[in-house]
Amino acid sequence: MVTGGAGFIGANFIRYVLTKTDFTGRIINFDKLTYAGNPENLADIADQYPARYVLEQGDICDPKRVADVLQKYQVDAVAHFAAESHVDRSILGPGEFVRTNIEGTFTLLEAVRDLWKDRKDVLFHHVSTDEVYGSLGQEGYFTETTPYDPRSPYSASKAASDHLVSAYFHTYGLAVTKSNCSNNYGPYHFPEKLIPLMILKLQKGETLPVYGDGKNIRDWLYVEDHAEAIWTVMTKGVLGETYNVGGENEWENLKLVQVLCEKTAVALGRPAQEFLSLIRFVPDRPGHDRRYAIDCSKIKKELGWKPRTEFSQGLEKTVAWYLANPEWVQNVVSGAYKTWLERNYSAR
């Protein structure tokens, strides 16, 4: 069962497992289908694998619904992606992050503990973020032993869920693995996040809001590389262990936006300077971490995974995908999300 499988990373993970691995079983996509959960992300997969892909709508905070689905399909592995994940949203409304990310993870853990009893031929894999570690200076990297120091309601809620998963391993012997990843990018990314937001604003000729001085640094990871890493951990990882997954690819936000301007200009046959002039600096986000960077030597050395996609190539593929899928974009930016986007970004 994949929780949050209709979201960005979850959908790419399901697509990867069914099309690029030797997995022969069935995947149950358990998703609440909130604004960020889009069944269209896997419409072709549903058609191609009707007997091996099932979508079950449900809330991970609903104990009965979770237990019913686990029991119905006799699930023996869970890949837990479902989470509220947008930092800006967590600042405006932290309650939903506490509910989904903490209470939802607890509900899942209790449900699988009840179903699996003392079985060891099972696995609960928890997908988390590098943001739980806080903020780095100009040097150094996050490792699996870096002390937690979350700075936003989002990262605090993910830190709490990480600790719950670890506690269920140590207290109850539940078969778990965890991964903490850097920023993902690629197809099907909901357009509130930096890269798709900028691509779509460039397409419309709108201003490009950049927080603060634009020198905040993030480590970027192509989403399919992340999917491969998670599958590697689930099939080769040591129970109870955490694996950091990074792109080894640090970029200042401003420089990233400038590169996006150039690549989108090429794709649209427009002058790059026309797009570069759209950049506007806006007041910084509260608690905005200065730098994230992951040391992923553990997963590389112990499990043989490494990022495959070169950043320039990955960005070009991402820009091309958004420009080629206007109907998908229109569908996901309609309704409640469109109202939120206009309220929070359009005036900048």
- Nearest CA-CA partner of 79 in 41, 123, 132, 22: 123
Of 59, 84, 131, 219, which one is the catalytic site residue? 131
Beta-bridged to residue 125, according to DSSP, are: 79, 177
Cα–Cα separations (whole angstroms), residue 48 to 15, 16, 167, 313: 11, 13, 39, 28
Is 130 an annotated catalytic residue?
Answer: yes
Q: How far apart are the first and last CA of the chain?
A: 40
Of 59, 130, 228, 250, which one is the catalytic site residue? 130
CA–CA separation, 19 and 185 (whole Å): 20
- The number of beta carbons lying within 10 Å of the beta carbon of residue 133 is 25
Q: Tell the residue number behind the tokens 């800006």, with chain if given.
A: 88
CA–CA separation, 191 and 208 (whole Å): 13
Kind and range of the H or E run holding 224:
helix 223-236
Supply the DSSP symbol for 151.
-
Question: Helix, strand or coil for residue 196?
Answer: helix
What phi and psi values does residue 70 have, to the nearest 5 degrees? -60, -45
Q: Are 218 and 277 in contact (CB under 8 A)?
A: no
Of 16, 53, 154, 185, which one is the catalytic site residue? 154
Tokens at 275, concatenated: 């797009």
Pairing of strands 176-181, 2-3: unpaired
- The number of beta carbons lying within 10 Å of the beta carbon of residue 16 is 19
- Give the residue numbers annotated as catalytic, written as ranges: 130-131, 154
